[in-house]
């Protein structure tokens, strides 16, 4: 089962919390700080950190879904 990272970009508030929780999977655009998903289907070893990013995102803009 593969997990896919979904970002609801219009909801993102550019807090950068996801980048701190999971720097391998998220980054921020330089111009406005909006989140960017670097790896939409991260390896299992990264899923804990992505879960952390989902939980900490202040805009509830990230979901981890089974595909």
Partner 1 sequence: MRRILIVGASAAGLAAAETLRRQGYDGTLTLVGDEPEAPYDRPPLSKQILAGEWHPERLALRERSDLAALDLDLRLGTAATALEPADRTVLLADGTRIPYDGLIVATGVRPRRLPGEGAHVLRTLDDALTLRDRLAPGRRLIVVGAGFLGAEAAAVARGLGAQVTLLEPAPVPLAHAVGEEVGRVLSKVHLDHGVDLRTGVGVSEVTEDGVRLADGELLEAEEVLVAVGSSPNTEWLAGSGLTLDDGLVCDEYCAAAPYVYAAGDVARWYNPLFGTRMRIEHRTHAAEQGMAAARNLLDPDARKPFAPVPYFWSDQYDMKIQAYGYLRGHDQVAVVEGDLTERRFLAAYRTGDRLVGVLAVGMPPKAIRRWRQAIAVGTAWHDALAGAAPAAEFT
Token representation of residue 37: 């998903």
By CB under 8 A, tell whether 11 contacts partner 1: yes
**Mask: binding to partner 1, 19-38, rule CB under 8 A, as x and -?**
xx-------xxxx-x-----
Instruction: Please tell me the count of residues contacting partner 1 according to CB under 8 A.
Output: 21
* Other C-beta atoms lying within 10 Å of the C-beta of residue 45: 8
Q: What share of the chain is helix, strand, coil (3-state, %, to 5)?
A: 30, 25, 45
Q: Where are the alpha helices (DSSP H) in the chain?
A: 17-21, 47-56
Among 16, 24, 38, 46, binds partner 1 (CB under 8 A): 16
Residues that bind partner 1 (CB under 8 A): 11, 13-17, 19-20, 28-31, 33, 51, 55-60, 63
């Amino acid at each position: 089962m593969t997990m896919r990272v979904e970002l609801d970009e219009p909801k993102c508030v550019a807090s950068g919390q996801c980048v701190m929780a999971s720097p391998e999977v998220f980054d921020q655009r330089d111009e406005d700080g909006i989140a960017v998903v670097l790896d939409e289907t991260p390896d299992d070893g990264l899923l804990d950190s992505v879960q952390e990013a989902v939980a900490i995102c202040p805009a509830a803009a990230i979901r981890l879904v089974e595909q």
